Structure 1
Amino acid sequence: MSMLTPPGMGGKYRITGDRYPRMRRPRNRRRIVVAAIAAVVALGLAGWGTVQLIDVFSGDGETTTAGRKTDCKPVPGASAQPVVMLRPAQITVNVYNATPRGGLAKTAADELKARGFTIGKVGNATAAYDKKVPSAGLLLGSPTAVKGSFQVLGTQVKGTTSKTDTRKTADVDLILGTAFTTLAPKPAADAALAALAKPAPVPSGKC
């Protein structure tokens, strides 16, 4: 009989060997580690969801369906483009016809004059542009006209392109092209001029 067998016990209760038997199964450490990781992940997701909900209901800027801000408050005084200070009367326009249709330059010039523009020369386009302007019109002038006269005159003719040259004067050429039919309707042109004078604010980019 083993020394581990209590006195008076034998038979099927007899304990053999020199070690006590284990009374419970060893813990599975892998399961414990996995459970701990899962708990940490769940807590992280819950916290992230709470932050997104706060962003959605905070009311600052536009939000996506995920709750992230996609727009910011505009900066006071900032604008999408330079404010155009020129009035039509301050712009001298030379109107040239680059199409086979006769009388087009004079008709367009008369309408531009009625809208307040100062008219310079009127006639047919030079050989460099005659029948070579596929758009509704080409605005031609000095580099200083790009953010001034071109913007104002461009509101009167839809579909124009622009090009600069080496002239030193402030006048601008409007060369009527193949796609030209008529000037933009006056209400639409007036609305475009008003938009140039009061451009939309630019977002700050910081939320």
Structure 2
Amino acid sequence: MGGQYRITGDKYPRMRPPRRRGRLVFLAVACAAVLGVVGWGTVQLIDVFTGGRKNTAAGSRTQCTTKASPAAGVKALPEPGKITVNVYNATARTGLAKDTADQLKKRGFRIGDVGNAAKQYDKKVKGTGILLGPASALNTSLPVLAAQLAGAEQRTDAARKGDTVDLILGDGFKSLTKQADAAKAVAELAAPASTPATKKKGC
């Protein structure tokens, strides 16, 4: 070719290779990761030098609520050996009062009078039985004795003197509660109640 299209000299035009976009994306992600790590490390150092406020706040949330604390004291329930029980039979079954009194004695109770129930109760008690005692026995002797006879009705007489309690057996009586179950019931009665959980100052 000649004229204005003639090629002269020893230099030739060169084509620039296309930029690799993948490499640019990788560099951008790497830079972002490095910045993130540096920022996280900076926050940790700030927490260390400022006393770890975030950790303290988190700890306070877990420690604000305290465990339920027991009540001031345990109920003062008397031992069976300090309870005197009169056993009366209000049923038509013979020997029931004596047999029951013997069982209570084996469980440690002191036995007073044993015999038939008074006229006001004789053949008139349809349930398991009635526990009768002075007002002072309401939260002491009566609950302990009631644990031996499930379903018995508890009554108090304000005019009654002394500390003995009566066990009046009714038509629904079959047998005393098993001794192990009775002991468990007494232990639950004596267990201290728990107070509601409280919060520490500053929560």
TM-score band w.r.t. shorter chain: 0.5 to 0.7
Correspondence 1:170 to 2:163: yes
Among 143, 147, 151, the alignment partner of 1:151 is: 143
Among 134, 146, 155, the alignment partner of 1:142 is: 134
- Cα displacement string for residues 119-153 of structure 1 (whole angstroms, at most 9, x for unaligned residues): 00000001101111122110101100000000110
Tell me which of the two structures has the higher relative contact order, counting C-alpha pairs closer than 8 angstroms and 6 or more residues apart. Answer: 2
Count of matched residue pairs: 139
List structure 1 segments (4+ residues) > 6 angstroms apart after TM superposition: none
> How much identity, in percent, do the aligned residues show?
46
User: What residue identity is the alignment partner of 2:70?
Assistant: P
Among 51, 70, 77, the alignment partner of 2:71 is: 77
| Aligned counterparts of 1:125 and 1:198: Cα–Cα separation in 2 | 34
Which structure has the larger Rg over C-alpha atoms? 2
Correspondence 1:184 to 2:177: yes
Correspondence 1:194 to 2:194: no
| Aligned counterparts of 2:103 and 2:85: Cα–Cα separation in 1 | 12
| Aligned counterparts of 1:171 and 1:150: Cα–Cα separation in 2 | 10
- TM-aligned CA deviation for residue 78 of structure 1: 4.7
| Aligned counterparts of 1:59 and 1:184: Cα–Cα separation in 2 | 44
| Aligned counterparts of 1:95 and 1:147: Cα–Cα separation in 2 | 20
Among 114, 122, 125, the alignment partner of 1:133 is: 125
Work out whether residues 84 and 164 of structure 2, in 8 Å CA contact, stay in contact via their aligned partners in 1.
yes
Cα RMSD of the aligned pairs, angstroms, is 2.3
User: What residue identity is the alignment partner of 1:122?
Assistant: V
Q: Which runs of 5+ in 2 are unaligned?
A: 1-57
| Aligned counterparts of 1:59 and 1:187: Cα–Cα separation in 2 | 40
- TM-aligned CA deviation for residue 189 of structure 1: 1.0
Q: Rate the CA distance shift 1:178–1:84 in 2: closer, same or farther, 3 A.
A: farther
Report 1:1-207 matches (<5 A).
73-78=67-72, 83-165=75-157, 166-199=159-192, 201-204=193-196
Work out whether residues 86 and 111 of structure 2, in 8 Å CA contact, stay in contact via their aligned partners in 1.
yes
Structure in which a larger fraction of residues adopt helix: 2
- Cα displacement string for residues 70-123 of structure 1 (whole angstroms, at most 9, x for unaligned residues): xx84233357xx613300000000000011111110010000000000000000
User: What residue identity is the alignment partner of 1:140?
Assistant: L
Work out whether residues 78 and 202 of structure 1, in 8 Å CA contact, stay in contact via their aligned partners in 2.
no
TM-score, normalisation: structure 2: 0.62
- Cα displacement string for residues 47-66 of structure 1 (whole angstroms, at most 9, x for unaligned residues): xxxxxxx9xx96988xxxxx
Q: Which runs of 5+ in 1 are unaligned?
A: 1-53, 62-71
- TM-aligned CA deviation for residue 202 of structure 1: 2.4
User: What residue identity is the alignment partner of 1:76?
Assistant: P
- TM-aligned CA deviation for residue 184 of structure 1: 0.3
